A and B are shown apart, each in its own frame.
Chain A
Amino acid sequence: MTSYHLDHLQLLETEAIHIMREVAGEFERPALLFSGGKDSICLLRLAEKAFRPAELPLPLLNVDTGHHFPELNEFRDRRARQLGARLIVRTVEEAIARGLAQPAAGEISRNRLQIPTLLAAIEEFRFDCCIGGARRDEEKARAKERFFSFRDSFGQWDPKNQRPEIWNLYNGRLNPGENMRVFPLSNWTEMDVWEYIRRERLEVPSIYFSHQRRCVRRGGQWLPANELVPPKPNEEVRDLIVRVRTIGDIISTGCVESPAATVDDIIAEIAAARVTERGSRADDRASEAAMEDRKKAGYF
């Protein structure tokens, strides 16, 4: 019986560590995008595995939209301190004040405004590479994303001009002003991320676990009730036992009703969600999305 065997998490881990070290070896001024979300929590552990006992050879960078869950920012700052890492935070607010980002009239979402804020930070610190936690299983369009994703001097991604990636040989060469995004978790699924969090006993922000929260029904989802977009009189508001599955801004992050209180519970929940016959929930969402479409059609 041979012991020269790596299980799936160990294989994903060694692949990701290899990519992290390629970044340290090939780029002059890399940064790691750290939001405090579950994927970037895994990235940080992988960075520790890649670079300890030395200091992390790259700072952490976060774009704060101003609409973050407070739990998330608290976690982000604490984790960076624990690691002795340098944390750079650039805010959308500040980018607006400096004229780098322009909200459209009535635009509340900060999704679009994150982009110029990030690009300005990249320019300010002359970062040539940003490591991010995106995974290919997140959506169809990501399935073809590279580990090393090239951005031109305007920060743009040109899907017609991607470099082929063969074996584990990544081409990190850049001309001045160009930039690379690197995604070490490309081959990880949501399940892998949680299994890794369990194996490594990683702390995650409390909002991933079941908690009571006042939610508002909007666009077929339960969103956290918040001051930024207060519930309208015709919107249903309820106190629910929920958790979040992915973390975005507080005005757009869907909460799922769930009793999952531990990482084990979450893993069981994800496993069950995959094998359950398509129940009422999926139909529910489809019809609600259709309803939403009608509402939009009527509105415009």
Chain B
Amino acid sequence: MAPVSRIPVPVDILRFNTCGSVDDGKSTLIGRLLYDSKSLMEDQLEALERSADITGGGQINLANLTDGLRAEREQGITIDVAYRYFATPRRKFIIADTPGHVQYTRNMVTGASTANLSVVLVDARHGVIEQSRRHTAIASLLRIPHLVVAVNKMDLVGWSEARFLEIRAQFEEFLPRLAIKDVKFIPLSALTGDNVVTASPHTPWYSGPTLLGHLESVHIASDWNLDGFRLPVQWVNRPNSPTDAALHDFRGFSGQIAGGIVRTGQKVLALPAGMMSTVKQLWTYDGPVAEAFCPQSVTVVLADDIDLSRGSMLIGLDHPPGAATDLQARLCWMHPRPLQAGKKYLLKHTTHTVQCLVTDIVSKLDVASLEGREAPSGLAMNDLGEVRLKTARPLVFDGYETNRLTGSFILIEPGTNATVAAGMLLPPRETVKPESADYVI
């Protein structure tokens, strides 16, 4: 048995999604990553090898690895996203694999919502097409921090540097209009494996990393927002321990930190109650800590006896959020029943579910350019649009562009309880002003 110390433990998790239009080589690429990084389990390999002998004349078809999905799609089963896992000594990876060109916007929004990075595939023969623009624009809309443009099928264009540079230039034409700051172009062949896990001998003109090399090393530590402390209260922790003096009066507010850093002794403001207090203790199962940060889960004990419940938010005094009932947001509509202005929905934001009314549909967004078009009467499935909303109770929120956790929401249709939309809030027009005590909302 190998000594345990020789097995390095991954240092963190990178979540990524893959997008491309049909036949760009998405399935082959995912299969190649899993196969070459030796991440396949024995039963998967067995099945792959068996099907190679039976139908492939001994050639393994890597796309078969993700074929379960394709079969199910044909049977009409809704699959917006399937998740796959692999790990290298450097990182654990979660791939959100989003199939289907029909439901594409909805699927991609679902798969990409938690991603650190998007891989956009381009067929080197076809170059940038309408789909490439759409996928990149959605990645930008969702504020995915990192983008990889995988220029695939380089074997079919004779490993031409000129072709690669041409595609890169096509991208760079529209990238400046988008919010993505970190973009990497990689010439590769999913079929042959060149530049996927091992560097290609065919691209001496390319000095950058392989796809896996880049996925392993891209800097994601700063993807979490550490700027303004936010703790949406999920659950109030009140032990029923009448005899235990230490716990008799314990009251903690449990939640996952959605932004920033919190320290014991720090002043915090509870919203919407509008009450100020001090952090007395940061309780965790592994013992009290002096500070905690996003996205840790903690239980906050306050110095004052404030009565808060699920849906309240504790915030720090710097970088204050907005608090309002009139909101503006971008929506991705996800349900066959279209959105109609004037209809009531339930809105779930952080740990808070409130009634809301979509008062106006301001515009429908052209997916490729993210530019607004005429004010439509409704939004259909896969449409993106900008809307105005009114909530029955104030939301304490940030613009989605500064905080993906406190700037996002879903809409739920009352009665059916269907999740009908994903929403991204625009920045607040004004923020809470803790210092002027003008924060009671």
In the assembled complex, A227 has its CB within 8 A of some CB on chain B: no
Contact with A along B395-429 (1 / 0, CB 8 A): 00000000011001110100001110010000000
Contact call B12/A6, Cβ cutoff below 8 A = yes
| B interface bracket (residues with beta carbon within 8 Å of A) | 35 or more
Contact call B79/A7, Cβ cutoff below 8 A = no
The verdict on A53 contacting B240 (CB below 8 Å), with A167-B405, A273-B42 known, is: no
Contact with A along B95-119 (1 / 0, CB 8 A): 0010000000010011001100000
Contacts of A48 in B (CB 8 A): 285
A143-B82, A169-B409 given; name 11 further pairs at CB < 8 Å. Answer: A4-B221, A8-B92, A11-B13, A21-B234, A49-B297, A53-B250, A53-B252, A161-B78, A167-B408, A173-B346, A265-B1
Contact call A17/B45, Cβ cutoff below 8 A = no
Contact call A25/B293, Cβ cutoff below 8 A = no
A24 to B261, CA, bound (A): 25
A1-57 contacts to B (CB < 8 Å): 2, 4-15, 17-18, 21-22, 24-25, 48-55
The verdict on A25 contacting B295 (CB below 8 Å), with A53-B239, A168-B114 known, is: no
DSSP class of A's interface residues: helix, strand, loop or mixed? helix
State how many angstroms separate the Cβ of B201 from the closest Cβ of chain A: 23
State how many angstroms separate the Cβ of B27 from the closest Cβ of chain A: 13
The verdict on A187 contacting B85 (CB below 8 Å), with A18-B234, A21-B234 known, is: yes
The chain B residue sitting closest to A22, CB to CB, is B234
DSSP class of B's interface residues: helix, strand, loop or mixed? mixed
A135 to B404, CA, bound (A): 26
Determine which of A12, A17, A173 lies in contact with B13 in the assembled complex, contact meaning CB atoms within 8 Å.
A12
Contact with B along A266-297 (1 / 0, CB 8 A): 01110111110010011001100000000000
Contacts of B57 in A (CB 8 A): none
Contacts of B80 in A (CB 8 A): 162, 164
> Which stretch (B3-11, B133-141, B162-170, B321-329) binds chain A?
B3-11
Contacts of B310 in A (CB 8 A): 25
The verdict on A169 contacting B410 (CB below 8 Å), with A6-B296, A21-B297, A269-B1 known, is: yes
Contacts of A191 in B (CB 8 A): 87
A14 to B297, CA, bound (A): 5
Size of A's binding interface in residues, CB under 8 A: 71
In the assembled complex, A123 has its CB within 8 A of some CB on chain B: no
The verdict on A4 contacting B226 (CB below 8 Å), with A55-B239, A171-B417, A174-B417 known, is: yes
State how many angstroms separate the Cβ of B294 from the closest Cβ of chain A: 8
Contact call A169/B285, Cβ cutoff below 8 A = no
The verdict on A17 contacting B297 (CB below 8 Å), with A137-B85, A140-B68, A166-B109 known, is: yes
Nearest 4 pairs of A and B residues by beta carbon: A17-B297, A143-B82, A21-B234, A173-B417
Determine which of A55, A167, A173, A259 lies in contact with B240 in the assembled complex, contact meaning CB atoms within 8 Å.
A55
A170-207 contacts to B (CB < 8 Å): 171, 173-175, 186-187, 189, 191-192, 195
In the assembled complex, A141 has its CB within 8 A of some CB on chain B: yes
B290-312 contacts to A (CB < 8 Å): 293, 295-297, 310
Contact with B along A142-162 (1 / 0, CB 8 A): 011000000000000001111
A274 to B418, CA, bound (A): 40
Contacts of A286 in B (CB 8 A): 46, 49-50
Contact with A along B41-63 (1 / 0, CB 8 A): 11011100110000000000000
Determine which of A14, A49, A164, A272 lies in contact with B295 in the assembled complex, contact meaning CB atoms within 8 Å.
A14
The verdict on A8 contacting B12 (CB below 8 Å), with A143-B83, A281-B42 known, is: yes
Contact call B226/A169, Cβ cutoff below 8 A = no
The chain A residue sitting closest to B89, CB to CB, is A271
A interface, CB within 8 angstroms of B: 2, 4-15, 17-18, 21-22, 24-25, 48-55, 136-137, 140-141, 143-144, 159-169, 171, 173-175, 186-187, 189, 191-192, 195, 259-260, 264-265, 267-269, 271-275, 278, 281-282, 285-286
State how many angstroms separate the Cβ of B318 from the closest Cβ of chain A: 16
In the assembled complex, B204 has its CB within 8 A of some CB on chain A: no
Contacts of B422 in A (CB 8 A): 164, 166-167
State how many angstroms separate the Cβ of B91 from the closest Cβ of chain A: 8
The verdict on A167 contacting B79 (CB below 8 Å), with A143-B68, A195-B9, A268-B4 known, is: no
State how many angstroms separate the Cβ of B368 from the closest Cβ of chain A: 22
State how many angstroms separate the Cβ of A12 from the closest Cβ of chain B: 7
Contact call A275/B84, Cβ cutoff below 8 A = no
Contacts of B346 in A (CB 8 A): 173
The chain B residue sitting closest to A171, CB to CB, is B419
18 A-B Cβ contacts within 8 A?
A: A8-B13, A14-B256, A14-B296, A25-B235, A49-B286, A49-B297, A54-B240, A143-B83, A144-B69, A165-B419, A166-B410, A167-B422, A171-B419, A189-B85, A191-B87, A268-B3, A282-B49, A285-B46
